A and B are shown apart, each in its own frame.
Chain A
Amino acid sequence: MLHWRSFLVRLGAENLRGVKNEELLVACHKSVYVVYTILGAISIYVVDKEEYDELVLSEVIYAITAIVRDVCGKPPSERLFLDKYGKICLSLDEIVSKGLLENTEKDRIKRLVRLKPPSEF
């Protein structure tokens, strides 16, 4: 676990400097894929394997950046991100749950976070 952390932090330190917001970077180790990007002051890493390959992880990271932008209103500073941390966690919970990709559509995620059904009547 902590190895992965160090690995990711190192990846970011080496590669994320000067990268545009939401530009996707890729890495892999053995059978594990990593897609990562930066949004404002926040680095985002998505890690998985098998059918969740680099392309699916790209979709996941798009969903994440979309909701982070949405919740924060702009590419967040660290401060802003921390202020919204609770809501971001709830959104992540709708994007990935129990290790499976759940929702990727922003509107649907927003509804679910507000305790509304995915399709409203």
Chain B
Amino acid sequence: MQIQSDTISAAKAVRANIMPQKQKRKPVSYAQLARSIHELAATSDQKNSQRQLVHHVFPKLAVYNSVDPSLAPSLLMLDQQCEDRTVLRYVYYYLARILSDSGSQGVSSGGGIPTPNWDALADIDAVGGVTRADVVPRIVDRLTSEALNEDIEFHARRLQALKALTYAPSSSPEISEKLYEIVFGILDKVADTPQKRKKGILGTKGGDKESTIRSNLQYAALSALRRLPLDPGNPAFLHRSVQGVSFADPVAVRYSLEILSDLATSDPYAVAMALGKHVQPGGALQDVLHMHDVLARVALARLCHSISRARSLDERPDIKAQFNSVLYQLLLDPSERVCFEAILCVLGKVDNAERTEERAAGWYRLTREILKLPEAPSAKDLNSESKDATPSKSSKDKSSKTRRPQPLIKLVMRRLESSFRSFSRPVLHAAARVVQEMGKSRAAAFALGLQDINEGAYVNTVPENNDSYDQDHNETSHPEGIRRVSSLSNATAAKDTIASLLASLMEVVRTTVACECVYVRAMVIKALIWMQSPHESFDELESIIASELSDPAWPAPLVNDILLTLHARFKATPDMAVTLLEIARIFATKVPGKIDADVLQLLWKTCLVGAGPDGKHTALEAVTIVLDLPPPQPGSMSGLTSVDSISASDPRSALALQRMVQAAVWFLGENANYAASEYAWESATPPGTALMMLDADKMVAAASSRNPTLSGALTRLQRCALNGSWEVRIIAAQALTTIAIRSGEPYRLQIYEFLHALAQGGVQSQFSDMHISNGEDQGASGTGLGSLISPMLKVLDEMYSAQDEIIKEMRNHDNAKKEWTDEELKKLYETHERLLDLVSLFCYVPRSKYLPLGPTSAKLIDVYRTRHNISASTGLSDPAVATGISDLMYETTNTKAAEPETIDDDLVNFWAANLGDDSLNNAPAINRVNEFLAGAGTDAPDVEENIISRPSMSYDDMWAKTLLESSEMEEDDGRSSGSSSPDSVGSVETSISSHFGGMNYPSLFSSKPSTYGPSQSKGKSGGSRYNNNSYSGSSYDGLGSPIREEPPPYSSPIRERYESFENPLAGSGSHSFGSHEEERVSSSNPQSGTALYDFTAGGDDELNLTAGEELEIEYEVDGWFYVKKKRPGRDGKMAGLVPVLYVNQS
């Protein structure tokens, strides 16, 4: 796989002590260097010039990131005229850099320090008008002719010329064409000669000259071929790559295997056929097992994996078995890298887009299959190739032990355990990563309910032993007992069960958490999360995480990575929802300042939905129990590692904790009805009944007996509304209103009473009997919430009085035995609609079902609707859109323009109507989760500012000056000394404020759609675009909530743009979170669709929609469809932009 990011960034030193005495000397400018090259190139035959170039000019030039094209003529002149090998080596180096120069920043692979100021400098200095376009063809021509030069004297230069040529941008088809020609030209001459691989050819002098030259050319050719784009259909490409497997040069073999393993991912059949006998005992692939090159063996593992799993080779089980056998042998490889790769291949981890079935099968293979080594026909080869390095030796040492057939699981466990005893941090990190992948495959196996994954089963040593195998199954109905026995008798291998092997491995893994390196510990915790079984106690894991998070050394990105791992774990095993929520709670309480609140809240939400009917109550508890915990005690260290205490040691995390509490309160209000399965529109209790229960005692008793979950939530919210910070009280009142609107009686009345009292103040006297049990000090009378609460009370008032009204009317009609006239019905319906509109300002309710006038009104409303052919689902458009709830609800002084909001419909719908249409996931948190699940993400970490106290001079300048100091050069050329040296143009350190400081708080139900380009979001403030539909649940919360006054959402427009670039990657790997995303592919052919909701155009280019309208989708841009209607709408417009989410593609 082509690595996009260049690899090496070397040499950073932060010592300033060289600086003082050196500062007198003037640094050499780029212009000076360039001039020197021109001058010295003219006199390159002189020793002195060569010395200057090698010792002064070229090394200093290396500092500059870009080498400007104006140097090319001089370099080419040197290339032609100079004989000095060192000069020439530099010339090839710089020619390659000119060829590869993409003009953008980036670490140059050859070293050098890229800084923007230097690049700018190089541009300034670029001497008059020579561009890359001018020189690249000349360089390519020159290098091409050299790469074709067969003169033996020219051999080494030929190799370097070909290498330099590969740096040419692959985007140019002519150059690629040329390179293919050269490479295949060389291979035509040197690849066909049948040859026996000569082991240890490296470093041995005096191999016969011809074969050495051939081997060198093979290496150079394959090295170039590897850097060219794959050519899958080309038989010559495949043929030469297969030949490469038998080449003498180990790097050439590596490249050919890498090419083959890449080819095998798309066409395993062809590759397997082409490899033919190479895989058989004594064949070239078997030899690779003993080759010294680690990456060659890694590529071999991947190749074997692709072929042995290929569906297209189902007809040839023999071939698959051969490759499989090679793969299994690599499990014994002395190199950890190779062994781990083989384990990952066995586990079914190939790339990041793996399927659950493949993973599950991987776990099955690992736990069930046996490694039988072939009858060592290569033994004599091994002897004859005694020069071979460690691999063969060590495998021979072990041979007596490893020749026996062995279950893979035992080999792997033993190997991992020994890796965990390593002192090398990279090895520990990698081993933990492998365990994590094991956990993923195991979770997949359990998720699919694979037969035969009973981990109490004994691990067989002899595969034929199938009878006793079955017996084992029967015996192991008590895995715990077995485990205890077998761990005692660990030495007697035959008694091992998978469970016991795993238990012993996990013991070692857990001890690794003591590693100094926080990254290793993070990986270990991820591994533990993945290896956690849903049905086992997670106390140990919980306490490990709690004590780990108390360590302030943990960087925020790493903490969030673990949080994302919880998401991934949930996705793999929804059964673990409650467990994962409990773990997530530790993050909320321990490191509130470090975690990405969006991601945490998304986890709450998804886990709540995933917990299912039985787990909902527990899940809600797990989230909101944080509200019951005592606040952090300043200076107290006692509870640091306890799960049930809150840590907020500094003001920042205290602030974050407060937001977390707000979020939890919000969450509780928004989801209590879902968790409690209590909906006004499903309640059969007529409002009149509830009005009878005005006695508070009776009401509470009735409420809690009917639905403990909801009344528990109410108690919590009421307490929050009474004490806690101002911000928390506000949200608690809002949350209570939400519940009041959504719940039937007696909850609504209970809340109404409470709010009423809250608005008046002096709650404690009225409600003391209700709340005294909480032991809360409710403070002085009056909560300061009056002005906020009164509109809430007003809506409830209106509902109640309208209900009274309708009851009265109905009684009148009944008494008079009169039918309802159309006029009366109309009035009733209008009241119904008006109240619906009003209610919708406060929270989302399903318009088609919600009955603000109470259940008894259902029949009459229905009559009127039927008579007038009104569809229940469309109704009137939601006034929250038009008016903006903030004006009505809360005297907000929002300085920030409200962002357009889209509603996370997922849960809303889920609780509302079980519509299950969750196609509208747009939250940035979801993107982050999806990106994580897809294993993508190479964007740079966020580095908090002011971490490194820099010396007053910026580090780069110091580096530059030290290096570029002129020595003799100065005497040679004093004219422009220092004129354009890279002086302190400015520190290159960008200060990035922590992304995790600010919370995009109400994201849970109202997240900014990241697919909408920033430019479009501007000027659309007010959110009308997104709220004019039945998903408008949180319009109120998004716009009117005081939380909007909090720091702005942390995604800056720029960052968002990055994320939307990454998302195509992320989307593909995820199914449950963004499963419908792929439906929204943009396409150039018109597609038909229907409008899902009413949409009010917010600009000239936009189009009004009425739900149900048929549309033709022309194209998609940034989350918008350009659509055409079949006939003009009321406004006469035919075509325009509408949000993607409003259209159902058919």
Cβ of A66 < 8 Å from any Cβ of B?
no
CB pair B430 A93 closer than 8 Å: no
Expressed in whole angstroms, the Cα–Cα distance for A59 and B5 within the complex equals: 18
- Chain A residues near B111: list those with CB within 8 A: 85, 88-89, 92-93
CB pair B12 A43 closer than 8 Å: yes
Distance of B531 from chain A, by nearest CB (Å): 19
CB pair A8 B938 closer than 8 Å: no
Distance of B300 from chain A, by nearest CB (Å): 12
- Chain B residues near A105: list those with CB within 8 A: 202
* Number of interface residues, chain B, beta carbon within 8 A: 109
CB pair A7 B941 closer than 8 Å: yes
Expressed in whole angstroms, the Cα–Cα distance for A93 and B428 within the complex equals: 29
CB pair A115 B10 closer than 8 Å: no
Expressed in whole angstroms, the Cα–Cα distance for A26 and B517 within the complex equals: 8
- Chain B residues near A6: list those with CB within 8 A: 943, 947-948, 989-990, 992
CB pair A26 B166 closer than 8 Å: no
Interface centre among B88, B89, B251, B989 (most CB of A within 10 A): B89
Given that A1-B105, A50-B1 are known contacts, is A64 also in contact with B202, CB under 8 Å in the complex?
no
CB pair A28 B988 closer than 8 Å: no
Expressed in whole angstroms, the Cα–Cα distance for A121 and B747 within the complex equals: 92
CB pair B62 A30 closer than 8 Å: no
Interchain Cβ contacts under 8 Å between A and B, 22 examples: A1-B107, A2-B116, A5-B989, A6-B990, A6-B992, A9-B948, A12-B14, A25-B517, A30-B938, A31-B937, A45-B9, A51-B1, A54-B426, A58-B427, A82-B963, A88-B111, A89-B59, A96-B8, A98-B166, A114-B89, A115-B156, A118-B202
Distance of A117 from chain B, by nearest CB (Å): 4
Q: Which of B918-935 contact A (CB under 8 A)?
A: 931-932, 935
Given that A31-B936, A43-B12, A43-B13 are known contacts, is A48 also in contact with B5, CB under 8 Å in the complex?
yes
Known: A6-B943, A6-B948. 13 other contacts (CB 8 A): A1-B114, A7-B941, A9-B14, A25-B425, A26-B520, A47-B7, A53-B433, A85-B111, A89-B110, A92-B109, A116-B85, A118-B251, A119-B201
CB pair A29 B105 closer than 8 Å: no
CB pair B429 A82 closer than 8 Å: no
Contact with A along B1-32 (1 / 0, CB 8 A): 11111111111111100100000000000000
CB pair B988 A2 closer than 8 Å: yes
CB pair B59 A85 closer than 8 Å: yes
Cβ of B1013 < 8 Å from any Cβ of A?
no
CB pair A117 B8 closer than 8 Å: no
- Chain B residues near A41: list those with CB within 8 A: 13, 15
Q: Which residues of B contact A (CB under 8 A)?
A: 1-15, 18, 54, 58-60, 62-63, 85-86, 88-90, 92-93, 96, 100, 105-107, 109-112, 114, 116, 155-157, 159-160, 163, 166-167, 201-203, 205-209, 212-213, 215-216, 219, 223, 226-227, 249, 251, 294-295, 298, 335-337, 340-341, 352, 424-430, 433, 517, 519-520, 523, 557, 561, 931-932, 935-943, 947-948, 955, 962-963, 988-990, 992
CB pair A48 B7 closer than 8 Å: yes
CB pair A10 B948 closer than 8 Å: yes
Distance of A64 from chain B, by nearest CB (Å): 7
Expressed in whole angstroms, the Cα–Cα distance for A82 and B990 within the complex equals: 26
- Chain A residues near B11: list those with CB within 8 A: 42-44, 81, 85, 88
Distance of A106 from chain B, by nearest CB (Å): 10
Expressed in whole angstroms, the Cα–Cα distance for A64 and B159 within the complex equals: 22
CB pair A31 B202 closer than 8 Å: no
Distance of A29 from chain B, by nearest CB (Å): 5
Expressed in whole angstroms, the Cα–Cα distance for A116 and B206 within the complex equals: 15
Expressed in whole angstroms, the Cα–Cα distance for A48 and B109 within the complex equals: 12
Expressed in whole angstroms, the Cα–Cα distance for A41 and B209 within the complex equals: 43
Cβ of A49 < 8 Å from any Cβ of B?
yes
Distance of B370 from chain A, by nearest CB (Å): 27
Contact with B along A94-121 (1 / 0, CB 8 A): 0111111111010110001111111111
Given that A55-B426, A82-B962 are known contacts, is A30 also in contact with B937, CB under 8 Å in the complex?
yes
- Chain B residues near A25: list those with CB within 8 A: 425, 517
CB pair A56 B295 closer than 8 Å: yes
- Chain B residues near A42: list those with CB within 8 A: 10-13
Set B208, B341, B939: member contacting A30, Cβ < 8 A: B939
Expressed in whole angstroms, the Cα–Cα distance for A13 and B701 within the complex equals: 61
Set B93, B209, B340, B429: member contacting A89, Cβ < 8 A: B93
- Chain B residues near A115: list those with CB within 8 A: 85-86, 88-89, 92, 156-157, 160
CB pair B10 A88 closer than 8 Å: yes
Set A45, A55, A56, A87: member contacting B427, Cβ < 8 A: A55
Interface centre among B105, B427, B941, B943 (most CB of A within 10 A): B941
- Chain A residues near B938: list those with CB within 8 A: 30-32, 49
Top 6 nearest A-B pairs by Cβ distance?
A86-B59, A3-B940, A30-B937, A99-B3, A55-B337, A54-B426
Set A7, A79, A112: member contacting B18, Cβ < 8 A: A79
Given that A3-B990, A64-B8 are known contacts, is A78 also in contact with B18, CB under 8 Å in the complex?
yes
CB pair A53 B430 closer than 8 Å: yes
Q: Which residue of B lies closest to A52 (CB)?
A: B3
CB pair A120 B205 closer than 8 Å: yes
Q: Which residue of B lies closest to A86 (CB)?
A: B59
Set A12, A50, A59, A114: member contacting B86, Cβ < 8 A: A114
Q: Which residue of B lies closest to A88 (CB)?
A: B111
CB pair B1 A3 closer than 8 Å: no
- Chain A residues near B336: list those with CB within 8 A: 55
- Chain A residues near B936: list those with CB within 8 A: 30-31
CB pair A7 B166 closer than 8 Å: no
CB pair A93 B110 closer than 8 Å: yes
Set A82, A100, A119: member contacting B2, Cβ < 8 A: A100
Given that A82-B962, A96-B109, A101-B295 are known contacts, is A118 also in contact with B219, CB under 8 Å in the complex?
yes
Contact with B along A70-91 (1 / 0, CB 8 A): 0000000011011011111110
Expressed in whole angstroms, the Cα–Cα distance for A89 and B160 within the complex equals: 15
Distance of A105 from chain B, by nearest CB (Å): 7
Distance of A84 from chain B, by nearest CB (Å): 8
Distance of B930 from chain A, by nearest CB (Å): 13
- Chain B residues near A50: list those with CB within 8 A: 1, 3
- Chain A residues near B992: list those with CB within 8 A: 3, 6
- Chain A residues near B18: list those with CB within 8 A: 78-79
- Chain A residues near B942: list those with CB within 8 A: 3
Given that A29-B557, A81-B11, A85-B62 are known contacts, is A100 also in contact with B6, CB under 8 Å in the complex?
no
- Chain B residues near A45: list those with CB within 8 A: 9-10, 12
CB pair B8 A46 closer than 8 Å: yes
Distance of B1102 from chain A, by nearest CB (Å): 37
Given that A9-B14, A48-B3, A53-B430 are known contacts, is A113 also in contact with B89, CB under 8 Å in the complex?
yes
Given that A3-B940, A28-B519, A97-B109 are known contacts, is A78 also in contact with B15, CB under 8 Å in the complex?
yes
Distance of B738 from chain A, by nearest CB (Å): 37
Q: Which residue of A lies closest to B170 (CB)?
A: A98
CB pair A24 B8 closer than 8 Å: no
Distance of A3 from chain B, by nearest CB (Å): 3
- Chain B residues near A29: list those with CB within 8 A: 557, 940-941
Set B167, B208, B340: member contacting A98, Cβ < 8 A: B167
Set B4, B340, B962: member contacting A55, Cβ < 8 A: B340
Interface centre among A42, A90, A98 (most CB of B within 10 A): A98
Distance of A88 from chain B, by nearest CB (Å): 7
Expressed in whole angstroms, the Cα–Cα distance for A120 and B215 within the complex equals: 10
Expressed in whole angstroms, the Cα–Cα distance for A46 and B3 within the complex equals: 13
- Chain B residues near A13: list those with CB within 8 A: 14, 947-948
Expressed in whole angstroms, the Cα–Cα distance for A93 and B111 within the complex equals: 8
CB pair B937 A54 closer than 8 Å: no
- Chain B residues near A89: list those with CB within 8 A: 59, 62, 93, 110-112
- Chain A residues near B216: list those with CB within 8 A: 117-119
Given that A45-B9, A115-B85, A121-B212 are known contacts, is A24 also in contact with B249, CB under 8 Å in the complex?
no
CB pair B940 A1 closer than 8 Å: yes
Q: Which residue of B lies closest to A113 (CB)?
A: B89
Expressed in whole angstroms, the Cα–Cα distance for A6 and B251 within the complex equals: 34
Given that A2-B989, A117-B216 are known contacts, is A107 also in contact with B202, CB under 8 Å in the complex?
yes
